[in-house]
Amino acid sequence: MAETKFVVKISIVTVSFNSAKTIEQTIKSVINQSYKNIEYIIIDGGSTDGTLDVIKKYEPYISYWVSEPDKGIYDAMNKGIKVATGDLIGFINSDDWYETTTLARYAKVFSCTNADVIYGDLAITDNNGKIQQILKYKDVDFTHIYTGMVIPHPTTLVKSNILKEKMFNTHNKMVSDYELIMSLILEGYSFQYIGEGIASYFRDGGVSTSQKWLGYREYRKVLKSTLKKYCVKLNDDIRKQVHNKRIFKIVDYIIEKKSVILSQVLNSDFYIKKNKRIVVFGAGEIGEKVVSMLKKSNCEVLVVDNSTKRQGEDFFGITIQSPNILNSLTYGMVLIANYMYSGEILSQINSMEIDNKIDVFSFTDWGRYIISKVVFGK
C-alpha cells in the first residue's frame, strides 16, 4: 500500500513497565508505519529491567517519553493524553503491535468521515506472536455494550479533543477503557470501522487476562454507575444481554450458588474433617465467601491478612491475625482467598517455616476446580 498523503496528525501512546522483552516490537511497529505524520509518545512507569535501554535506542524516532512512577495504567494513559498534540489519539500497549499500514488506513478513513472514534479488527496471539484468533468488528451491534467491550481498545483511535475532555477514570484498575467507550456510545458520538484486515495484534496473557475476577467485579460496578448516570433503565433486555455471555453466567453461577459449590469442594477435595483447622489467607470479598461457608462446618477457622490495618479486626467473629502465625502452624491447611496476589502470597508462604505436611491451596488451585469440576462437570 502506497504511503497515504494526508495531513491528519496521529498521536500514539505506549504505556510500559518492565517490558524489555516485548516493547521493541511495539516501538518498531509504530515508527515503521507507512504513514509518517505520527507523534509517538511512551509513558513508562519507572522500569528497571532494561526497558529504558530499548526506549533510548529508538529515542530519535520518539516524540516524547518519560519514565517515572504512576498510579496505574490509566494514570499513565492520561499522562499521554495530556502531552499529545495530534488530531487522533490511540494506545498500543508495550506487548502489542500494529500492521505496517494500519495508521495510513486510519488517516484515510478519518479524512473521509471525520468520525469521533475509529476502530478495526484485532488478532489475538500467544506469547510467541502466533495468531490464535482474529476478531472482526464490521457488523458490531452497539446496543450490546452492556455485555462488555464491543470494540477492542488496542485498535481504537479517538479524537484528541474528546479524550482530553473525558480522560480515563483512574479509580479503576482494569475497565476504564470499557467505561469510556460505553459513555461515548451512550452520548451519541460517531464510530467508524476501518476494515481492510487486521489493525493490531494483542498478545494474550496481560493484566486483563490474568485478573478476570477483578475485571468482572469492576465491570459490574461501572455498568451500574453508568446506567444510573445516563438514566438507562436496567430492563429485561439489558439483563438478558448482560447474562448472555458465558463468562458472566459462570461467575454469577459461582456467586449465587456459592454455598452448594464450596460445600462440594471443601468436603470432597480438601478432605475437611471435624475439628480440622483451616487458615483463610485474605480478608477481602473472596475471604468473606470462604469464611461464611466454613463457619457452617465444624472446622477451626483462622483468618490472616498482610494488611496491618486489618489485623485485629473482627471478621465474622474471627480476629484477623498476622500471617506470621503460619510459622507455628503444626496441622491443618491454608486457603489463599485472594485473586490478584495469589502467586505472591503463595511465594510468601513457601518462604516461611511451616510444616511440609500442611496443604496450601492457591486461589488458582481451588478456583479452577470450582469452574472445571462443578460448572463444566469435567
Domain ranges of the chain: 10-206, 258-375
The whole-angstrom separation of Cα 124 and Cα 199 is 11
Residue 338's nearest CA partner among 328, 347, 326 is 347
Check residue 166 and give its pLDDT: 95
Q: β-strands 157-159, 88-91: how paired?
A: antiparallel
> Mutual orientation of helices 246-256 and 212-229 as an angle, nearest 10°?
100
Q: Is-contact 325 302, C-beta < 8 A?
A: yes
Please list, in sequence order, all residues whose beta carbon lies within 8 angstroms of the beta carbon of residue 367, skipping any fewer than 6 positions away. 213, 339
Over residues 11-24, the mean pLDDT reads: 95
Q: How far is CA 288 from CA 75, 79, 176, 277, 315, in A?
A: 30, 37, 26, 17, 8
**Of the candidate ranges 24-28, 69-73, 167-171, 285-289, the one whose mean pLDDT is the lowest:** 285-289
Check residue 56 and give its pLDDT: 97
Share of the chain above pLDDT 90, in %: 46
The whole-angstrom separation of Cα 204 and Cα 208 is 9
- What's the chain's Rg over C-alpha atoms? 24
Binning pLDDT at 50, 70 and 90, where does residue 353 land?
confident
**Of the candidate ranges 222-226, 229-233, 305-309, the one whose mean pLDDT is the lowest:** 229-233
Over residues 15-34, the mean pLDDT reads: 96
When comparing pLDDT for 142 and 206, which is higher? Answer: 142
The whole-angstrom separation of Cα 81 and Cα 65 is 12
Binning pLDDT at 50, 70 and 90, where does residue 55 land?
very high
pLDDT tens profile 325-335: 998 888 778 88
Report residue 110 CA to chain centroid gap: 29
Check residue 242 and give its pLDDT: 63
pTM comes to 0.64
Check residue 221 and give its pLDDT: 82
Helix (H, G, I), strand (E, B) or coil at 158: strand
When comparing pLDDT for 360 and 22, which is higher? Answer: 22
Q: How far is CA 154 from CA 96, 100, 177, 212, 249, in A?
A: 8, 15, 10, 18, 26
pLDDT tens profile 206-224: 444 444 555 667 787 888 8
The CATH number of 10-206 is which of 3.40.50.300, 1.10.1760.20, 3.90.550.10, 3.30.1490.20? 3.90.550.10
Range 258-375 has CATH code 3.40.50.720: yes
Rounded to the nearest 5 degrees, what angle is found at the Cα of 313, between the Cα atoms of 307 and 314? 135
